[in-house]
């Protein structure tokens, strides 16, 4: 499925240091769908993903999609204690909210899901089981445990320098239903909701969203956003009407430049989409990119209506390291998990591929003796 931001208009950007915020405005809200925030007092969530494994996360907030909780007794002990067998004293505990799925019905016309967790889970689950065909190069651990444990590092928006100030200072446009966030002119994330009222309620939650290592580092560097403004040429303008017409043309030119150039790689036509939930004509999905090297790659989640129009969108930009990991796993799977065939497709030797896997953090997939053999081959092939 190909996504497009049809029905959303780009407004002039607002810049604060390295942060550029681009508002997205709807002429009319998406009917029959509302999105709002639900705040949990409990900071810990345990999610059963359905295959016997558990997914645990700190949950700063969750979104509830509304079309028209949980057992309060669950808790988790923390701190180590020695207790008598029959003692009635209980160790200190914290409340835990238990959710059976990443997206869960919260009523007849309501669906609860955790923002960006659907998308991140999709990336972490990419070939999570490891080699599907057990060739002799793969280790026993790879066969028995796959890529478990698999983890990636992310940062809260509060850690991205300047983002909190920019969100607090800049105005919210009439009819605004979305926002694109740039850090040092790198597209960090896109956020779209169905109704302006939803956006006003959720605007501040962007500082609680997840951002990747690349965006975090760009924020630390503090490089100012580039000047992409186009001043109005006053030659020939003799009235307020002509000035307004010139300003309107500049806004249209800026919107076209932004949509085609700056945000042109947000959606990947060669990527993949997975349907998570369907309800009342709306589809909750997550998508993965094609993991093309030396280009932007975004993961994300959407709610679309029957016409394919995006009612809700939230994206996460992968770092170059994360893209390389996804690229290697995808190529291995496409070539039957054979090192020789994958190396031939990539135009490199088997030893070079093995070392790329090691640098990407996948050394545990290979048997130790095989990896040592490839290391020795690489040393012998290296020029003196």
Whether residues 198 and 284 fall in one domain? yes
- 345 and 288, same structural domain? no
pTM of the model: 0.77
DSSP string, 191-226: EE-SSHHHHHHHGGGGGGSEE-HHHHHHHHHTPPPP
Residues 200 and 180 in one domain: yes
Spatial separation of the C-alpha atoms in residues 221 and 196, rounded to whole Å:
33
Partners of residue 277 on adjacent β-strands: 284
- Is 361 a domain residue? yes
Q: How far is it, in rounded angstroms, from Cα 116 to Cα 258? A: 24
Pair 111, 64: CB distance under 8 Å? yes
221 and 346 inside one domain: no
Domain that holds residue 357: 338-381
Token couple for 98: 């238990």
pLDDT tens sequence across 327-356: 999 999 899 889 999 999 999 988 999 999
**For residue 127, what pLDDT is reported?**
73
Confidence at residue 50, expressed as pLDDT on a 0 to 100 scale:
53
Task: Tell me, yes or no, whether 140 lies in a domain.
Answer: yes
**How high is the pLDDT of residue 70?**
41
End-to-end CA distance of the chain: 51
Residue 131 inside a domain? The answer is yes
Count of the separate structural domains present in the chain: 2
- Whether 82 is covered by a domain: the verdict is no
230 by DSSP, 3-state: which?
A: coil
Give per-10-residue mean pLDDT for the chain (384 aa): 76 93 93 76 52 52 53 44 47 48 58 70 72 77 70 86 94 94 95 93 89 92 84 82 88 88 90 85 89 92 88 92 91 90 92 91 86 83 64
pLDDT of the residue at 1: 43
- Do residues 289 and 368 share a domain? no
Look at residue 364 and give its three-state secondary structure. helix
Same structural domain for residues 151 and 275? yes
Q: What is the pLDDT of residues 138-151, one digit of tens each?
A: 887 777 776 766 67
* Count of CB atoms situated within 10 Å of the CB of 113: 23
Q: Do 291 and 318 sit in the same domain of this protein?
A: yes
Residues 58 and 134 in one domain: yes
Give pLDDT, residue 173: 94
User: Has residue 51 been placed in a domain?
Assistant: yes
Q: What is the pLDDT of residue 125?
A: 72
Residue 366: predicted pLDDT:
87
Q: Which residues contact 356 (CB under 8 A, 6 or more apart)?
A: 324, 328, 348
């Amino acid at each position: 499925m190909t996504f497009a931001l049809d029905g959303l208009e780009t407004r002039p950007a607002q810049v604060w240091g390295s942060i550029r915020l681009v508002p997205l405005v709807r002429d009319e809200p998406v009917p029959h769908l509302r999105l709002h925030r639900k705040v949990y007092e409990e900071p810990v969530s345990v999610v059963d993903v359905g295959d016997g494994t558990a997914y645990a996360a700190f949950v700063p907030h969750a979104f509830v999609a509304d079309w028209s909780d949980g057992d309060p007794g669950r808790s988790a002990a923390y701190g180590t204690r020695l207790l008598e067998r029959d003692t009635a004293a209980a160790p200190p505990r914290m409340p835990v909210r238990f959710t059976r799925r990443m997206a869960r019905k919260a009523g007849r016309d309501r669906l609860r899901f955790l923002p960006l967790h659907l998308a991140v889970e999709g990336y972490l689950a990419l070939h999570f089981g490891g080699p599907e065909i057990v060739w002799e190069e793969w280790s026993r651990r790879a066969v028995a445990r796959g890529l478990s444990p698999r983890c990636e590092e992310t940062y809260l928006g509060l850690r991205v320098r300047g983002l909190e100030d920019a969100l607090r200072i800049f105005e919210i446009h009439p009819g605004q239903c979305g926002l694109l966030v740039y850090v040092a002119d790198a597209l960090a994330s896109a956020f779209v909701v169905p109704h302006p009222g939803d956006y006003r309620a959720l605007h501040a939650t962007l500082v609680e969203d997840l951002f990747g290592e690349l965006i975090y580092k760009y924020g630390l560097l503090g490089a100012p956003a580039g000047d992409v403004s186009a001043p109005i040429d006053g030659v020939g303008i003799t009235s307020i009407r002509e000035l307004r017409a010139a300003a309107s043309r500049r806004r249209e030119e800026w919107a076209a430049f932004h949509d085609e150039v700056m945000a042109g790689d947000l959606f990947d036509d060669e990527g993949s989409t997975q349907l998570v939930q369907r309800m009342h004509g709306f589809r909750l999905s997550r998508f993965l990119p094609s993991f093309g090297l030396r280009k932007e790659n975004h993961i994300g989640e959407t709610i679309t209506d029957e016409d394919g129009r995006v009612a809700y969108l939230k994206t996460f930009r992968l770092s170059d390291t994360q893209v390389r990991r996804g690229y290697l796993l995808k190529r291995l799977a496409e070539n039957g998990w054979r090192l020789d065939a994958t190396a031939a497709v990539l135009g490199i030797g088997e030893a070079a591929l093995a070392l790329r896997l090691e640098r990407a953090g996948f050394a545990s997939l290979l048997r130790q003796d095989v990896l040592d053999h490839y290391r020795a081959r690489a040393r012998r092939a290296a020029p003196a």
